Amino acid sequence: MPPRIRAAGAPVKVVGGSASLPLARALARELSIPLADVSFEKHPGGFPDGERYVRLQDAVAGEHVVLVQTTHPDPMLVEYFLLADAIRDAGASRLTAIIPYFGYGRQDKRFAEGEAVSAKTLAKHIALDADELLTMTIHNPDVLGLFPIRAREVSGVPAIGRYLKSAGVDLVLAPDDGAIRLAKEASAIAGTPYDYLDKERLDSYTVRVTPKELRVKGKVVAIVDDMISTGGTIATAAKELKAQGATRVIASCVHGLFVGRAEENLKVCDEVVATDTIVSAHTKVTVAPEFARAVRELAR
């Protein structure tokens, strides 16, 4: 077991938000440090309107606190801010924000007059209490430049790659050219070749895939993407692979949102695999080792 880490002489403790408790527990085990007890019970005043309530049950004064909380769905974003503020008020000497899935990170520029740049808004408010940010496999790494604090992307692809290696995959496929970097990274870990499909997005719900001769007949193929939302892109790619003779298609992603008709769309796949950045029925791997490595580097 590795020794407990300490940052600038201060002990380190993990605090997990309710959206990311399994990952927070796994991270604490990886780092051999305590997981703080947090209460998420209803407000003592008995408010019936669904407002979030948090209470730190353990002392964190003078400590380096690692707060783990995915900011999806929206109430979890409010919960993150409540936890960060409570940690600072309790006297923590340093706060490292781990936001495994960075909600509102996709709007990183103003496309029309009067729009809010949601990624910039979130970055500004997260920086009020956090000293640094670690997030995972974001759609556009340029978003990190919007933070007024040190912000770093941690790759969640190694966790997917390890799983695909154990699953006996023959080919790793990106559903479009934007995911090539992910497919390349996963294939290197899985020990397989990689390729990609040509995709054109027609609207928020519809995509067109241009067929390519991928020589997938009789092979197990894994599609790797940063996130699966409605599953439309993955389903279209899986149908094309099955049409070309693939015997098994595995859909894999770092962030499994699975909204709308995702479950229905993904029935064409033989298996769906996601990490614990967002907990779902398809969460089969943890990214705790990747975040643990990043936290150790911060503590040096």
Catalytic residue among 13, 120, 199, 219: 199
Phi, psi angle pair for 72, to nearest 5°? -150, 135
The answer to whether 65 touches 131, Cβ cutoff 8 Å, is: no
Nearest to 84 by CA among 152, 38, 153: 38
The answer to whether 236 touches 268, Cβ cutoff 8 Å, is: no
Nearest to 234 by CA among 219, 252, 247: 252
CA distance 251 to 241: 12
Catalytic, 199? Answer yes
The one-character DSSP state at 5 is: P
The helix/strand/coil state of 46 is: coil
Sign (positive or negative) of CA dihedral 107, 111, 115, 117: positive
Give the active site residues. Answer: 199
